[in-house]
Amino acid sequence: MTTDPHALFDAWFAEAKAAEPNDPDAMALATADVEGRPSVRMVLLKRHDPRGFAFYSNSQSRKGGEITANPHAALVFHWKSLRRQVRVEGRIEPTGIAEADAYFATRSRDARLGAWASDQSRPLESRAVFEARYAKLVEDYDGKEVERPAYWWGYRVIPDRIEFWTDRPHRLHERRLFVRNPGSGSGAGADGWSESLLYP
């Protein structure tokens, strides 16, 4: 019982990367607006360490606006091939600029241009308009480096709760819950967490 939840996540994630046929790093991200109305979408985990779970997006998107208004989020990883899921809840903060720059540089050139072309979550007159906008950027940036847009950065979910769910026969599932101890900052090791079991 006293396992560090981040170490346990890394072990499960390594197994998922070996077993899942597509996108083992996919996670459902739930946010809510200032009135508490929720929305959820799939995003990709790009970094995990004891500080939390990081992903990247357009800060002017719907999710970006909700995160600004209500900086709390929940994540779910579902690895069907392993019959496991992980649930994460906590506050959400922007990553540093250097971290966002470093990740943006690893994206393909087309994906970097796509970040400039898309006014994410805003109305689009037609697909042709978007494709023309992208084609113009390809032309404009020919022979030039594609830098990170100022509105595109990373977010990190800093967990207060992490639950590990394992399928068991007859729906007698196993649920292990880790709750961050009061006063433990991000990056807390195993001693910064309390573990318990939940009825399925």
- Which residue from 180, 177, 196 is spatially nearest to 188, judged by alpha carbons? 180
Domains and CATH numbers, the chain: 5-108+148-198 (2.30.110.10)
Whether 51 is catalytic is no
pTM score over 0.85: yes
Give the model's pLDDT for residue 186: 64
At 183, list the tokens. Answer: 């006063």
pLDDT at 183 > cutoff 80: no
Among the listed residues 51, 127, 156, 171, the single catalytic one is 171
pLDDT at 170: 93
List all residues 6 or more positions away from 121 whose beta carbon is below 8 Å from its beta carbon. 58, 60, 61, 62, 63
Does pLDDT of 1 surpass 60? no
**pLDDT tens digits for range 150-176:** 999 999 999 999 999 999 999 999 999
Length of the chain: 200
Residue with the larger pLDDT of the pair 188 and 59? 59
DSSP 31-69: EE-TT--EEEEEEE--EEETTEEEEEEETTSHHHHHHHH
Report the 10 Å Cβ neighbour count for 32.
17
Q: What are phi and psi of 155, to 5 degrees?
A: -130, 150
Alpha carbon 169 to its chain's center: 30
